[in-house]
Amino acid sequence: RRERSLLWCVLVAAWEAAWGQLRYSLPEEMPKGSFVGDVAKDLGLDLPALRDRGAFVVDKGRTQYFFLDLQNGHLSIKERVDREEICAAAATCVINFEILVKNPMKLYKGEVQVQDINDNSPSFPERKSVLEISEYTPPGTRFPLEKAQDPDIGVNSLQNYECSETHYFTLDVKNGDDGVKYPELILQRSLDREEQAAHNLTLTATDNGSPMKSGSTTIQIIVLDGNDNAPEFTQSVYKVTVREDMAVGSRVLQVTATDRDEGPNAEVKYSFFKIPEQFDKTFKLDPESGEIEIKEKLNFEEQTFYELHVQARDAGGLSSHSKVLIKVADVNNHIPEIVITSVFSSVPEDTPLGTVIAIFNVQDRDSGANGEVRCSIAERLPFRLEKTFDNYYSVVTAEELDREKVSEYNVTVRAADGGSPSLWSSAVLALRVLDVNDNAPVFAEARYSARLPENNAAGALVLTVKATDADEGTNAEITYSFSDIANSARQLYTLDSRTGEVKVTGPLDYEEGKYYEASVEGKDGGGLSAHAKVQIDILDVNDNAPTL
């Protein structure tokens, strides 16, 4: 029992020391099987121990990019790692992983930083676009152009725009509030449709990677005749915040533009101007009223911000542009998710206090208070929760266990977020308490007695001793034996080790022995024992004639 207690203490100490951090980095697009890091070396574990303890990378139910090779202790690539696919435009791309080692159980946290390589060229949504400009448009007028996309980051991302030479236009590259570069054409001199009805330009986007990559699009400028006043928006930027649970068909806001011309040249139509296809599926712009409505449900966890470019165009072909910035507010619409990483389904009843019974983590896709999760278990149970790191928790023993009182527990873990109203979920950990031989047998009586007439036949039952044990299994299997008996009595009586029956083995003679006493022992399968007394009185029978 002391050895078992020491073993559990070592297990608890090892668990507390295991929360380390493994940090590696690698370029994206490395071949499958490529080396990431030497886990065995970094954890200070030799390979046989790593294999014997069944170390593995914990599967979280999503794409598992790495695996642990137990032949060499290396963390290697399991699936293609594409930084743009995993982290989009995030400046830092980190993939987290956990390694679980058993016997004793330890959980190691690690992260791999994915380095960007210049594997994407800047590209435009369309290879050719048309821009219509009135010949009355004054020099200095700006025309926003379709921006290019480059999913790489840093110097590998979009860095600059260049435009083919022309006497009529210059290119200006502006840095937006979001850090994105936007190309704009500036009219340098007045256009004359009769002199030149169209202008063809080539817009090129470049990154600064090594080697440098680029993408181009052709812009055809059509010069329109007449109509010398373009529509003007009431605001250059419209801003609004909407809840992610706003109903489909709801009005987000209304843009408005006026035109100082008259007649058909003052009739304004509204449209989105070169916005991403996904945005066009999400919002609808009424061409007559300028009202923007929701076409499909919003999801804060997928998209928190929308930037829409809106065009107001009159019947004469003149147009102006404005921005609509839509911020999505989070709503508490995701239930916390409990993921059980490891659990002991059975533990001995002499388990030391503080022993880890299970490990789990919780995740909530909401943000802010809606994503802050608190975990709890019922106070009446002999267990408590301990937070380890991030959203990981361990269930540990808080009180001594006693199988004879409670042999099984269903531990319900409850996770609730900080939303209003709060959303919650639960998981049940089924735990069986294993028996330890901590109860000695107990005889039903401290002293057993019987009275027998002499000359009783061999095999006759004298009495039965009976003991019980509160333990189970072999710890409750009792074996009976005489522990203290005179040789004369041993020749006359037997004790069945299984049933406790005391029987006569030969004829009894009152004249040779009137009284017998012995001690019996009941011993369980774990070595604990109890004792009782047996007393047998022999009754005289008239079996002797008088003698002179």
**pLDDT on residue 13:** 36
User: 346 with 265, same domain?
Assistant: no
User: 364 with 284, same domain?
Assistant: no
**pLDDT on residue 49:** 85
Q: Residue 58 class from Cβ within 10 Å (0-12 exposed, 13-18 middle, 19+ buried)? A: middle
User: 464 with 426, same domain?
Assistant: no
Report the b/e string of 431-463 with b at 16+ CB within 10 A: bebebbbbbbbebeeeebeeebebebeeeeebb
User: 344 with 236, same domain?
Assistant: no
User: 167 with 312, same domain?
Assistant: yes
Picking from 329, 352, 375, the residue at the C-terminal end of a domain is: 329
Q: Is residue 5 part of a domain?
A: no
**pLDDT on residue 31:** 95
User: 348 with 306, same domain?
Assistant: no
Q: Is residue 1 part of a domain?
A: no
Q: CB of 247 within 8 A of CB of 293? A: no
Q: How many residues does the chain have?
A: 548
Q: What is the mean pLDDT of each successive set of 10 residues along the chain, which is 548 residues long?
A: 38 41 92 94 88 87 89 93 86 90 87 92 92 89 91 87 92 84 92 87 93 94 81 94 92 92 85 88 94 92 90 89 92 89 87 91 87 87 88 91 91 90 90 92 95 86 94 94 89 93 88 90 94 93 75
| Residue appearing with tokens 């994206």 | 28
User: 461 with 478, same domain?
Assistant: yes
Q: What residues have CB less than 8 Å from 179, skipping those under 6 apart?
A: none
| Residue appearing with tokens 């380890």 | 388
CATH of the domain at 390: 2.60.40.60
Q: CB of 74 within 8 A of CB of 27? A: no
User: 489 with 455, same domain?
Assistant: yes
**For every residue of 320-360, which 3-state class applies, written as one string?**
EEEEEEEEEECCCCCCCEEEEEEECCEEECCCCCCCEEEEE
Cα distances from 179 to residues 154, 210, 252, 302, 392, in angstroms, run 11, 22, 26, 20, 35
Beta-bridge partner residues of 479: 523
Q: Is residue 120 part of a domain?
A: no
CA angle, corner 8, sides to 5 and 9, nearest 5? 85
User: How many Cα atoms occupy the beta-carbon half-sphere of 365 within 13 Å?
Assistant: 10
Picking from 86, 115, 144, the residue at the C-terminal end of a domain is: 115
Beta-bridge partner residues of 425: 415
The count of structural domains within the chain is 4
User: 289 with 149, same domain?
Assistant: yes
Q: Is residue 454 part of a domain?
A: yes
Q: Is residue 152 part of a domain?
A: yes
Name the DSSP class of 149.
B
Q: Return the beta strands (E) in 102-168 as ranges.
A: 106-115, 128-134, 142-144, 158-163
The whole-angstrom separation of Cα 229 and Cα 496 is 117
Q: Is residue 545 part of a domain?
A: no
CA-nearest of 280, 279, 230 to 259 is 230
Q: Measured over all CA atoms, what is the biggest interatomic distance in the chain, rounded to whole angstroms?
A: 169
Helix (H) or strand (E) holding 182: strand 181-187
The whole-angstrom separation of Cα 224 and Cα 438 is 99
Name the DSSP class of 194.
T
Q: Is residue 123 part of a domain?
A: no
Range of the domain at 467: 442-539
The whole-angstrom separation of Cα 415 and Cα 373 is 6
**pLDDT on residue 11:** 38
Picking from 434, 461, 488, the residue at the C-terminal end of a domain is: 434
User: 176 with 78, same domain?
Assistant: no
Q: What one-character-per-residue DSSP string does 251-305 give?
A: EEEE--EE-SS-GGGG-EEEEE-S--HHHHHHEEE-TTT-EEEE-S---TTT-SE
The whole-angstrom separation of Cα 108 and Cα 20 is 6
Cα distances from 55 to residues 40, 451, 526, in angstroms, run 10, 68, 35
The whole-angstrom separation of Cα 51 and Cα 36 is 19
Name the DSSP class of 381.
S
The whole-angstrom separation of Cα 460 and Cα 480 is 18
User: 450 with 430, same domain?
Assistant: no
User: 532 with 458, same domain?
Assistant: yes
**pLDDT on residue 10:** 33
**pLDDT on residue 7:** 34
CA angle, corner 121, sides to 120 and 125, nearest 5? 110
Q: CB of 130 within 8 A of CB of 217? A: no
